[in-house]
Amino acid sequence: MEKRKAVEPGRIFIYALLILGSAVMAYPMLYAIIATFSDLETFFRRPWLPIPDSLYLENYTVLFTANFMKLAPVWRWVLNTLIRTAWYIIVPGTVAIFAGYVFARLKFWGRDAAFIYLLSSLMIPGIVFWIPTYVMMARFPGMGGNDWTGQGGHGLVNEFAGLMVPGLVNVFYIFMLRQTFYTIPADFEEAARVDGASTLRVLWEIYLPMLKPVLTVLVIFQFVAIWNDYQWPLIISSGNRDIWTMSLGIQRSLLATAQLKGYPSGTSIQDYPFAFTLAVIATAPLVILFLRLQNYFVEGVQGFALKG
Amino acid sequence: MSVTAKPTVLGTGNVPQVNRFRRWRSRNRQAIEGWIILSPILLYYSIFFIFPVVANLLVSFTSWSGVYQPPTWVGLANYRIYLSHPYPLILFNTLLFSIIILVFQTTLAFFIAVLLNEKVAGRGIFRALFYLPTLTSAAITAQVFFAFVSPFDGIFNSVLKALGQPIVIWTISTFWMRTFIILYSIWRGLGGPIVLFLAALQGIHREVYEAAKVDGATWWNQMRYITVPLLRPMIIFVVVTSMIASFQIFESVLLISNGGPANTTNVMLLQIYNDAFVNSRLGLAAAGSIVTAVVLLGFSITNMRLMNRGQTD
C-alpha cells in the first residue's frame, strides 16, 4: 500500500492543489506582515509584494511615540480587552459548571422546566438583543447619572460596565457542561459524599480536574469570541475611546494612520504599511495562541458540531 | 484523609437528636442546592434574555426615535416599511450573499478536506494555514481589505497603475463590491468547515475505500457513493450553520462597502444597525431584527427536518 502511494502521480496533484490553496489563504497574511517592514514609498513601488530594500522598523517604533499613545491608547485597549476576555471566561464558565452540575446530577421538582426555559432562547439570533439591551444599558438604574428609575443620565452607554453586563449566562455552555457531566460516572461523587464532602468540594476537587478538556474548549472559544468582538463594543462604547477594545480601537485607528504616524496635520494620505502593522499586532496574540494549541482548537470546533 | 461523621448529609436521619429543620434540609438537599444555584442564573436570564425578546417584539410595533423619547404605537407600520424600497433589495442582497458564500465555501471546504484526508505530509501546517483567517478580527481584516479597494490610492489601483492600466473606481461598481465582500467572507470563513469535514472524513474506515477500489470504483464514484452519503449529517450541519452565519454578515459589509453603491450590497444587520443607532428609528430596527429572526428560524427548522429525515432513512 505504501509503495503504491509513493508512485501515484495523483499525490503530486494533491500536493499542488493544497499548496496553491494554502498559498491563496496565506498570501494576505504574509503580505500584511511583509508590508509592516516597508515604508510607504517602497510599498507603492511594489504593491504585489512590498519587500523592502532595507529593513524599515519605523512602523513599529512609532507605536511607542507620545503622539501615537496620545491619539491611540493601544495599551489601554489591550488592557480593556484582557479584562473583558477574562471576565467573559470566568463568569459564564463558572455559571456553566454550576448549572451543568445541577441539571445533570441533582434531581428535584422544577429542574426540567428550568432547563427548557433556559434552552428556549437558544434559537434566537443575537440581533434581536441589540436594541432592547442597548435601551436597558441606557436606562440602567443608579448608574451613569441615572436615578433608580433609570431616568436622567446616560446609564451604561459609553461606560466600561456596559461592555461587561450582557451575556454573562451562556446557555450553550450550560448545555455543553451538562452533557459532559453525564459522561462522568457518579461513583466518584458518591464516594466523596460518603466522606462528607460538600457540593462545593465535590465540584472543586472531583469534577474540576475531570472537566479540564471541555473547559479548555470553552476558554479557547470565549477567548477568540471576546478578543475579536466588535458588534457590542461598536454599539455601546463608540463614544468613549478610553473603554474601547482592540477590535474597535484598531479598526478606528486604521482610518487615521496619517495622524497616528505623525504626518503634518491636513495630510489625507493613508499609510498602508502602518495600517498593516496595527492589524498585525492586534491579530498576533490569537495566531500565536492557535499555533500553540492547534489540537484543542480543532477538537473544540469538532466538539461544537457534535454536541450542538 | 479524615472521615468526619456528618450523618445529616447522608440523609439517613437515624440520629435521634437531629432537629426537624436539619432533617428537612438533608432530605431536600438536592432541591435546596439546585434552586440556590439556579435562582440567580434564572433571574439574570429572565432580565437579559427573555425580557429583551418580548420587549423587542413590542418595540417593533412602535415608532421610537431614540432612547430618551417616548415610543408611540404604530401597529404594523414598521413591517409595511419592509415591503418598500430599499428593504426588499436589502433582504435580497443578504440572501444572495449567504447563498453564494454558502455554495462556494462549502464546496471548497469539502474538497480541501478530502485532499487533506489523503494522508498528506504536513497536514497540520496546511490545516493551520486554512484555519488562521477564521481567528482574525473581522472588523480589523475587513478594514484592512478596504485599503485594497479604496477608490483612488487603494492597493489594487496602485497595481493597475504600476501595470500601466487605467484605474477602476471599485466602490461605485455593484459587481466588484459584491465580489469583494463574497471573496473576503469565503477567505475568512473557510477554516471552520474544513476542520469539520476533516473530522467527519476521519471517521470513515479506510477499508470501505479499499473494498471499493477492489471493485474498480473510480475516484468520482467513491466520492459519490461513499464519501458524500456517509458525510451527509455533517454536510447538512455545515450548510445550515454557514447559512445562518452568513445571513448575519455585518462587519465586512459595514467596513468594505458600507452598503454601497446605492444599497446594492446593503444587508439586514447593517440596515438594522443604521436604523437603530444612526437614524434613531428603534421601532423600525426592532422590526428588522424580527424579520431576521424569522428567516433564521426557518433555516433552523429546515435543518431539523433534514436531520430527522437522515436518521429515519
CB-CB neighbors (< 8 A) of B273 in chain A:
130, 235
- Identify the band that residue A136 occupies on the pLDDT scale cut at 50, 70 and 90: very high
Give the count of Cβ contacts less than 8 A between chain A and B. 256
Asked if A62 is an interface residue toward chain B (Cβ–Cβ < 8 A), one would say no
Q: Helix, strand, or coil here: B200?
A: helix
Torsion-angle region of B280 (φ positive above 0: left; ψ -120 to 50: alpha; else: beta): left
Asked if A107 is an interface residue toward chain B (Cβ–Cβ < 8 A), one would say yes
Is the CA virtual torsion B197, B203, B207, B212 positive or negative?
Answer: negative
| Beta-carbon separation of B137 and A230 below 8 A | yes
Asked if A302 is an interface residue toward chain B (Cβ–Cβ < 8 A), one would say yes
- Identify the band that residue A85 occupies on the pLDDT scale cut at 50, 70 and 90: very high
Cα B82 to Cα B33, B39, B86, distances in angstroms: 49, 40, 8
Closest CA to A184 of A214, A217, A220: A214
Phi first, then psi, for residue A56 (nearest 5°) are: -115, 115
| Beta-carbon separation of A25 and B120 below 8 A | no
| Beta-carbon separation of A305 and B162 below 8 A | no
- Specify the pLDDT at position B283: 94
The residue-averaged pLDDT of A218-239 equals: 92
CA atoms of A271 and A59, how far apart (whole Å): 10
- Residue B35's identity, in one-letter code, is W
Phi first, then psi, for residue B168 (nearest 5°) are: -115, 130
Tens digit of pLDDT for each residue in B36-84?
A: 999 999 999 999 999 999 999 999 999 998 888 889 999 899 999 999 9
| Beta-carbon separation of B6 and A196 below 8 A | yes
Nearest residue of B to residue A13, measured between CA atoms: B115
CA end-to-end span of chain A: 38
Q: Helix, strand, or coil here: A108?
A: coil
For residue B30, give how far its alpha carbon lies from the nearest alpha carbon of chain A (Å): 5
Interface with chain B: mutation pick from A5, A25, A247, highest number of B CBs within 10 Å = A25
Cα B39 to Cα A98, A102, A231, B44, B298, distances in angstroms: 12, 12, 30, 9, 32
Tens digit of pLDDT for each residue in A231-270?
A: 999 999 999 999 999 999 999 998 888 888 888 777 777 8
CB-CB neighbors (< 8 A) of B120 in chain A:
14-15, 18
- Specify the pLDDT at position B16: 56
Under 8 Å CB-to-CB from B295, ≥6 apart: which residues? B247
Do B31 and B249 touch, CB atoms closer than 8 A? no
Is ipTM > 0.95 here? Answer: no
Query: Pick the residue with more confidence: B179 or A67?
Result: B179
The residue-averaged pLDDT of B133-140 equals: 90
Asked if A42 is an interface residue toward chain B (Cβ–Cβ < 8 A), one would say no
- Identify the band that residue B14 occupies on the pLDDT scale cut at 50, 70 and 90: low
CB-CB neighbors (< 8 A) of A278 in chain B:
140
| Beta-carbon separation of A114 and B38 below 8 A | yes
| Beta-carbon separation of B59 and A26 below 8 A | no
